[in-house]
Amino acid sequence: MAKKPNMNIDLEDYTKLDKIGEGKFAIKSNNKVVSGCSPGTYGVVYKAQHKETNQLVAIKKIRLEFEDEGIPATAIREISMLQELANPNIVDFIGISLQESRLYLLFEFIMMDLRKYLDQVPEDEYLPKETVQRFAFQICQAICFMHQRRVLHRDLKPQNL
């Protein structure tokens, strides 16, 4: 059985490490912020570390535009969907934190996406056939898992894999 996300995370448990970037997206307790991520529509992503366990996480910070209206329906739908997507081939959703006029989503931290991995392959070389097959199989498993739950990714690209 998959571990349920924590819906009331205390960000004081985390140490911010650095900004990873800003991105399109609609956080777990005892983390230190480590770094930030890529440009996008809804907010900024930070790398953080749990102060006690040293677990690395990615924290997506979403500013709530209209404080008096509460959490936007789109964010509620995303959180609900993320809770259903516990799978070995999908980044783990750890939980959320709501503080002042900001919503934070915490995820498992992934060291490298497929784009960065492929960029490391020398131009005059190819990935072994077995590696390509393994990656393709894992991607297909994740997509199938999502589709069985009536979820579409809508932005499949190497940077998101």
User: pLDDT 10s digit of each residue in the chain, 161 long?
Assistant: 456 677 677 777 777 776 665 443 323 333 444 444 444 445 688 888 888 888 899 988 887 766 566 777 777 888 888 888 999 999 999 988 888 778 889 999 998 889 999 999 999 999 999 999 999 999 999 999 999 999 888 888 998 88
User: Residue ranges of the domains in the chain?
Assistant: 11-108, 114-160
Evaluate if pTM is beyond 0.85: no
From 107, 89, 90, 88, select the one nearest 6 (Cα to Cα): 107
CATH homologous superfamily for the domain 11-108: Phosphorylase Kinase; domain 1 (3.30.200.20)
**8 A C-beta contact, residue 96 and residue 79:** yes
68 an active-site residue? no
pLDDT, residue 129, reads 96
Surface-to-core class of residue 137, CB atoms within 10 Å of its CB (0-12 exposed, 13-18 middle, 19+ buried): exposed
Catalytic residue, from 13, 113, 124, 155: name it: 155
